[in-house]
Structure 1
Amino acid sequence: MSKRVSFQHSRRPSLSRVRGAVVAAGVGTSMVLGVGAAFAADPASAPRAASLIDNGAAHSVAKQAAVQRQAAKAAETERAAAQAAAVKKAAAWEAPVSRYVLSASYGNDGARWAHKHSGQDFAVPTGTEVQAAHSGTVVKAGPNGGGDGPAYGNAVVISHGNGVYSQYAHLSRIDVHIGQTVKTGEHIALSGNTGNSSGPHLHFEIRTSPNYGSAINPVSFLHKQGVRI
């Protein structure tokens, strides 16, 4: 009896399974490609990101440097203005007292003076601050008019160079000494009523020498220096 030999044939996968596999494979491939693309995007964008960061930092540094330059320029301008003001003040003249009433003027006649009045009187209370009318060096300071005579009482004389001197008399207190350098507006004494004086005031002279007898009109002189009293 002959044996029947049976052959088993592999079943061919159904069309739906094939399609499912293909679709699944496609999705997988897409996912892989997408992920790859995503990873691939990072290296490409990194230089651009770095460039943006570098540009931003450079802009920030440049802006800060500009602000610093502006601040330095403003500070330099302020320093220059302060120096100019200091030079101007040193070169300027001013009244020897801040608040006053003008009394006896230069050239007045009167029984109190042996000759015509040699200066300008500023009526102020005793103890009023007396300031240097201009920068210079103290050449006289003391009682007896600093050597010019008892009529002046306590007095100070300052040399301003170029043959110009200022004198401050009838002082109650002297706060400078011979040889001392003073600046315009610097405190030098307190006003008073010493010497030949009819009441508290400051006697102020402009001279062409440190000594009595060389006085010129102090008001006219100060006017030429831009000082109105």
Structure 2
Amino acid sequence: MYLQLSLLVCLPILSLQLTSDGCDTSETCVPIRTCDPIIEELQTAKATTNKDKKREIVNYVKSKICGARKDRLICCPDENGVGQVNQQQQGQAQPQQPREEFMGEFVNIFHDIAGEVYAVSDNQLLIKDFTYDGEGPDAFFLAGRDGNKPNPRSTNGDIVLAYPDNGVEYEYLDTNIPILPRFNGNKDIILTLPKGITVNDLKWLSVWCRDYKVNFGHAAF
């Protein structure tokens, strides 16, 4: 709770003060402590040792500040349908609800891994009720196209599914892969596959610790 507040306090005052209506139509100006996507970005900034990545995240958060600075408000992606209402008012079609096809359930090995995996499109997975204690030093989602779980002797061809999704496709050895924080099962997670790969290509999904080459838990498809 104090992470996002302490980081926000350290952000310099913007040369252009945003107002409460300065958010996109798909965003709502809310207290920063209630915006999970922004909190996750700040947790990633705290965990990374890459100064450029940290600076990039801080600049992104700064760009989302809205309202009076003392109120600690942020432009948060709207999860309550306000953006959809705005689209309808503007004559745009309301997006269709995603399909949910059950793929598998996580089996815990270490660190309290749990959750159910669904396909919601050809290139996206949804994890419901995901839990993880956040104690792994180098843990992220890893998917594979062979076998029914990761092979610690060979990660060739395995697919990094970064969370939070920042639009970047990472190779396995990339040191900038976001490290997973703690999850207590109170939110759903969307994972986007790299270009050229579909959910039908996948055989398993793992919470994988690269430092120790250990599978914390996996779901077989």
- Please say whether Structure 1 and Structure 2 have the same fold, judged by a TM-score greater than 0.5: no
How does the TM-score come out when normalised to structure 1? 0.21
Which gives a bigger RCO, structure 1 or 2 (Cα 8 Å, sep 6+)?
2
The structure richer in strand per residue is 2
The structure richer in helix per residue is 1
Higher gyration radius (CA): 1
